[in-house]
Amino acid sequence: MDKYTELLKNKNISPSIQRVKVLQYLDKNRTHPTVEQIYTGIKGELPTLSKTTVYNVLQLLEEKKVIKSISGSDGREHYDFCRLPHGHFKCVKCGNVYDVEENFVYQGEQMIDGHKITDYNLVFKGICKNCLNKMDAKNEK
């Protein structure tokens, strides 16, 4: 059985082709895409797909804790296939968001300064290696 279909069934979600394709896209594109990026990425495979359907699928997947949404500094929601706590690196040039490892390891309902942590988002900002390579290539010419 397809791993995406199995994941959906384990969360009591009917594995429609739209849900499977959204999950597959998120798994293969770990740059935390937006609804627009996901829609653009899979509409060629599903010509009848609408942005509303993508949005509704993402809302269901987040509600069932299959994926995680991250509020971007651009005001849009970005979606993450990895539900385990981790940090992020956002490129200020291309806007892509990458998973990064960091020293703080969240282990569930920890306390910091008397505050109970139930989740966290850690975001570093800078220039990603792809953009740096492009900049270096331009400088060499």
Q: What is the per-residue pLDDT across 57-106, written as a single tens digit (0 to 9) for each?
A: 999 999 999 998 887 767 889 899 987 767 778 788 887 778 776 555 55
**Tokens standing for 22?**
């959204």
Say if residue 118 is exposed, middle or buried (CB neighbours under 10 Å; 0-12, 13-18, 19+): exposed
Model pLDDT, residue 29: 92
* Pairing mode, strands 87-91 and 122-126: parallel
Between 39-48, 53-62, 99-108, the lowest mean confidence (pLDDT) is in: 99-108
Average pLDDT, the chain: 86
Phi–psi pair at 25, nearest 5 degrees: -60, -45
* pTM for this predicted structure: 0.73
**Tokens standing for 89?**
């690196």
Query: Where does the pLDDT of residue 22 fall: very low under 50, low under 70, confident under 90, or very high at 90 and above?
Result: very high
CA distances from 73 to 92, 109, 111, 139 (A): 10, 26, 26, 29
Give the 3-state secondary structure of residue 124.
strand
Say if residue 45 is exposed, middle or buried (CB neighbours under 10 Å; 0-12, 13-18, 19+): exposed
* Pairing mode, strands 87-91 and 77-80: unpaired
Model pLDDT, residue 30: 86
Model pLDDT, residue 36: 96
